């Protein structure tokens, strides 16, 4: 498996050069570098004897259908888009390892059909709405999203057509009725496995997410002539609330809350800020706990705004319930870990993944491998060859068990 691990890592490092920006890895939904990624992965799929297509949502899909395979197929994949200034392995390593799984299945002569999916979009960077690729495959793509515009004013529908896609055929992107299961292999994107000295873990559930935008609307005014007690400073209000977010999240076990984006108007050094927009991202594996904290945070924001003579506006961006992974498939993974000689570890995922969307339509499992130093969404994101090799060994055992089960 060492050669396979090295090949998968090399694939990720090579595709990392296919970027919108020089010297940085940035690859948003349907931007020009995606054509390069498709061409490279298509060649790899075809070398494995797979039939290849790009669906209306821009997902690249390769199917291995060996002689003697039954009607059911295993879907394996992850995403190829990135956040700005990303690392080389988030999402993409799962695609590279999916292709290695096809190679392993061929080597074992498994009578198992495998569809590898390189999802076009998961991060939500370009249009502010995540999981566009997997939502299409799961048959859950809301066509109202086509009207969204990016930072350059390009509607999503136009971006699709410019890429050579036909958004009128989005319903045809839905997974084949023969799909029996979905497996996603992904870096942990956190420090747990490294802290415990482990190579891999099976994901038990993916935490639910709430994403929203709050706007504190006050009054811009001259910084030199407006007395402190007569100010309606939107930034001061937002700053007060952000400290509340951190304090409340620290008290709630298993919950994380983040304010990652702040927009200030007029954003001038000598002007009292009149308007501030802030993002809020709250995650927890129990939906009731998450919803309760979100409502408390919005109430606290409203109280702060009122006390300062401001108004508060709320826009909901995402309300994604927590998603448990399929117990039977997860047992295949834990059995595979034991068979491959690794300690059995299960853990929840705090990050969102395509697996959480796919799980609504088909039994789904996830395999985590260690992130070096727990770093992700950053250029320093890295993996160890031994961990990639471990993921491949577990995948081999999983394929054996799955193929026997669907026979």
Q: Residue 161 — very low, low, confident or very high, per pLDDT cuts 50/70/90?
A: very high
- Predicted confidence at residue 401, as pLDDT, reads 97
Segment 207-254, tens digit of pLDDT: 998 999 999 999 999 999 999 999 999 999 999 999 999 999 999 988
Percentage of the chain exceeding pLDDT 90: 94
Mean pLDDT of 384-398: 98
- Predicted confidence at residue 276, as pLDDT, reads 98
- Predicted confidence at residue 165, as pLDDT, reads 98
Mean pLDDT of 10-36: 97
Tell me which H or E stretch contains 311. Answer: strand 311-320
Does pTM surpass 0.95? no
Q: Residue 304 — very low, low, confident or very high, per pLDDT cuts 50/70/90?
A: very high
Whether the predicted pLDDT of 352 surpasses 90: no
The rounded distance, in Å, linking the Cα atoms of 186 and 278 is: 29
Segment 41-66, tens digit of pLDDT: 999 999 999 999 999 999 999 999 99
Whether the predicted pLDDT of 140 surpasses 90: yes
Q: Give 172 or 68, the one with higher predicted confidence.
A: 172
Mean pLDDT of 150-168: 98
Domains, the chain, with CATH or none: 2-207+322-406 (3.40.630.10), 208-320 (3.30.70.360)
Mean pLDDT computed over every residue of the chain: 96
The rounded distance, in Å, linking the Cα atoms of 209 and 221 is: 37
- Count the Cβ atoms, other than its own, within 10 Å of residue 225: 8
> Which residues make Cβ contacts (< 8 Å) with residue 241, sequence separation at least 6?
214, 216, 278, 297, 300, 301, 304
- Predicted confidence at residue 406, as pLDDT, reads 84
Decide: residue 345, CB within 10 A, 0-12 exposed, 13-18 middle, 19+ buried.
middle
Whether the predicted pLDDT of 70 surpasses 90: no
Q: Residue 407 — very low, low, confident or very high, per pLDDT cuts 50/70/90?
A: confident
Q: Between 327-339 and 385-406, two packed helices, what is the crossing angle to 10 degrees?
A: 120
- Count the Cβ atoms, other than its own, within 10 Å of residue 91: 26
């Amino acid at each position: 498996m060492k050669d396979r691990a090295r090949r998968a890592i090399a694939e990720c490092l090579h595709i990392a050069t296919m970027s919108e920006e020089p010297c940085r890895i940035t690859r948003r939904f349907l931007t020009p570098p995606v054509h390069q990624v498709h061409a490279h992965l298509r060649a790899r799929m075809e070398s494995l004897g797979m039939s290849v297509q790009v669906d209306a949502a821009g997902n690249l899909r390769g199917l291995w259908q060996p002689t003697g395979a039954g009607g059911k197929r295993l879907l394996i994949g992850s995403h190829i888009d990135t956040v700005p200034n990303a690392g080389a392995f988030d999402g993409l390593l799962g695609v590279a390892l999916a292709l290695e799984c096809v190679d392993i299945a061929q080597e074992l002569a498994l009578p198992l059909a495998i569809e590898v999916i390189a999802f076009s979009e998961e991060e939500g960077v370009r249009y502010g709405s995540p999981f566009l690729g997997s939502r299409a495959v799961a048959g859950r793509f809301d066509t109202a999203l086509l009207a969204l515009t990016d930072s350059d004013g390009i509607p999503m529908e136009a971006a699709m057509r410019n890429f050579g896609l036909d958004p009128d055929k989005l319903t045809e992107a839905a997974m084949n009725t023969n799909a029996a299961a979905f497996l996603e292999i992904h870096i942990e994107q956190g420090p747990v496995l490294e802290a415990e000295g482990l190579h891999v873990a099976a994901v038990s559930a993916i935490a639910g997410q709430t994403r929203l935008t709050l706007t504190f609307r006050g009054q811009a005014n001259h910084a030199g002539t407006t007395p402190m007690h007569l100010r309606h400073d939107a930034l001061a209000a937002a700053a007060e609330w952000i400290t509340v977010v951190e304090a409340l999240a620290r008290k709630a076990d298993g919950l994380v809350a983040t304010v990652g984006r702040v927009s200030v108007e007029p954003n001038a050094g000598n002007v009292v800020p009149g308007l501030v927009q802030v993002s809020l991202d709250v995650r927890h594996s129990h939906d009731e706990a998450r919803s309760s904290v979100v409502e408390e945070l919005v109430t606290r924001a409203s109280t702060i705004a009122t006390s300062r003579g401001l108004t508060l506006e709320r826009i909901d961006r995402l309300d994604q319930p927590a998603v448990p992974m399929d117990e039977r498939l997860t047992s295949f993974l834990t059995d595979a870990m034991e068979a491959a000689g690794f300690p059995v570890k299960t853990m929840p995922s705090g990050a969102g993944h395509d697996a959480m969307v796919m799980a609504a339509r088909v039994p789904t499992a996830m395999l985590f491998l260690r992130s070096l130093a727990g770093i992700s969404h950053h250029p320093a994101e890295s993996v160890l060859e031994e961990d990639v090799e471990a993921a491949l060994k577990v995948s081999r055992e999983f394929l054996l068990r799955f193929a026997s089960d669907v026979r």
